[in-house]
Chains A and B, each alone.
Chain A
Amino acid sequence: MTPGRTYGTRLPGLPEHSLPGKLIVVEGADGSGRTTEVTLLKQWLEVEGHAVVDTGLRRSTLVAEEIDRAKQGHTLGATTMALLYCVDFADQLENKIIPALSAGSTVLADRYIYTLMARAVVRGASRDWARELYAFALQPDLVVFLEARPEILLHRAIAKYGSLDYWESGMDLSLSRDLFESFFAYQDRLSKEFAWVAAEYGFHRVDANRTADKVHEDVRALVAPLYLPPAARRDPSPPRPTVSRPRRPAASA
């Protein structure tokens, strides 16, 4: 890979030397089997002898509580929420992901900046604003994108929580007062946004309408080459996005 490379913005304090670890991201909607896959992948990688550090959204020591509290209150504006999630991500990137990569570990991220960008855009931010906001993030070695049909997501969500979640149904967007309707409308918007992100950032798509075993098989096939010596390796790392960054203001409030 090209270790320690961000998406365009300099990150103050990022080590000059290359980072020996690997950064693997698993993206996908709630119910896409993402968390199951992360668990399976972690087990497999550890059996293979790699040290794995897992990370995800809303786990920073700095603001995770604030986010939870803000979500309870439902009173935050779209820009504020987007920025609060960004603080959470930045804190984990600098205090967890980069140190782990420096130490040669594999970092397994259960979602990354892409989910945050898609959510922000669905809530009214411009794509340029979101892309530039997260331009300090490290480029992963691999992004696996688990894609599943909305009906499947719905069934898995209900099986998991027994109901639909306020935020995962995008109720804050006032798409519909009906939770069920809102869920479909929101997931539809989100998946359209993800289609853009996936193309732009070179995701490796995996059909997640299937069983966890089948999905895992495909994911392993994508991950395994990362650990081959460079010569034997067919480079699976995502191409850099074609970044053109005109300054356009975010669609505010």
Chain B
Amino acid sequence: MPELPSPTHGFPGRLFVFEGLDGSGKSTQAMLLGKWLQSQGYRVFFTEWNSSELTAATIRRGKKKNLLTPTTFSLLHATDFADRFERKILPPLRAGYVVVCDRYAYTAFVRDAARGCDPAWVRNIYSFAPRPDCVFYFRVPVSVTLQRKIASRLKINYYEAGMDLGLSDDVRDSYQRFQTRLKQEYERMVRTDEFTVIDSSRSVESIQGQLRSIVRPILQNFPMAERLMHDAG
């Protein structure tokens, strides 16, 4: 087994997390980094927020019918994350994989706080989730995310716009206000949770270059897939 457990969480694998507002470019970068790591010979496991089969249908149904309160919204997403964590994130982490997460517990911290849940309560719920080796926070102005949203012609959905909070009757206005709240929460965590801030306004290539140069030293002496297979046998 890998000889160097992570100094942050103690598992043999490594955990990289991408956080930021919708439209900050984090998903593209997470995907590119995952592919690069794979090409370098690492065993990579990639996971997204809100993708477990268990609660996906309930979350969809709950959202569609607007059945969710801030508390059930928070708990459902926590359940979903726990399921993904227990089945998909923890095993590869223990087996020595590089796990790349497009959103992690921090997404819950910002959304739930913006919906009025007690932050200490939310943190406690997610205390089973270990601290990542690195959290990349993609900083972007709210106005830019709105422009991207409009340009993509995707409909802004009810919860994404925080319409359940009654901030405004206008979807676009509500979206802007809600995303501003989320951004405030993220910015607050930059120091407390030691985020690595990535400036989203730069080119895709230059950001990817920056990510790779940050990740390289963290993966120094970290075993490649090939070695894992042979050593484990």
Contacts and interface: CB of A to CB of B under 8 A. Distances in A.
Interface in A51-89: 61-63, 66, 70, 75-80, 83-84, 86-87
B28 to A, nearest CB: 30
Interface in A162-197: none
A122 to B, nearest CB: 17
A229 interface: no
A84 B121 CA distance: 16
A232 interface: no
Given A66-B57, A77-B83, A249-B127, 14 more contacts: A9-B121, A10-B116, A12-B117, A13-B70, A62-B58, A62-B67, A66-B54, A76-B54, A77-B82, A129-B128, A136-B118, A247-B120, A247-B123, A253-B128
B69 A66 contact: no
Interface string B59-97: 000100001011110011011001101110010000000
Contacts of A83: 75, 78-79, 82, 125
A94 interface: yes
B124 A129 contact: yes
Nearest to B76: A87
Give me the 4 closest cross-chain CB pairs, A-B, nearest first.
Answer: A77-B86, A252-B128, A249-B127, A12-B116
Interface string A129-154: 10011011000000000000000000
Contacts of B71: 11-13, 90, 94, 136
Interface of B: 54-55, 57-58, 62, 67, 69-72, 75-76, 78-79, 82-83, 85-87, 90, 115-118, 120-121, 123-125, 127-129
A250 interface: yes
Interface of A: 9-13, 61-63, 66, 70, 75-80, 83-84, 86-87, 90-91, 94, 128-129, 132-133, 135-136, 247-250, 252-253
Contact of A135 (B62, B116, B121): B121
| Residue among A63, A70, A129, A135 having the largest count of chain B Cβ atoms under 10 Å | A63
Given A62-B58, A62-B67, A247-B124, A86 B75 contact: yes
Nearest to B75: A87
B121 A249 contact: no
Secondary structure of the B side of the interface?
Answer: helix
| Residue among A10, A91, A247 having the largest count of chain B Cβ atoms under 10 Å | A91
A61 B78 CA distance: 18
30 contacts: A10-B118, A12-B70, A12-B115, A12-B116, A12-B117, A61-B67, A62-B58, A62-B72, A62-B76, A70-B54, A75-B87, A77-B83, A80-B54, A80-B79, A80-B86, A83-B75, A83-B79, A84-B54, A84-B79, A87-B72, A87-B79, A90-B72, A94-B69, A129-B128, A132-B120, A132-B121, A132-B125, A135-B121, A247-B123, A253-B86
Given A12-B116, A83-B75, A66 B55 contact: yes
A137 B118 CA distance: 13
Contacts of A133: 121, 124-125
Nearest to A131: B124
Contacts of B69: 12-13, 90, 94
Nearest to B83: A80
Contacts of B54: 66, 70, 76, 80, 84
B127 A66 contact: no
B218 to A, nearest CB: 23
A249 B75 contact: no
A136 B82 contact: no
Given A62-B58, A249-B128, A250-B127, A90 B75 contact: yes
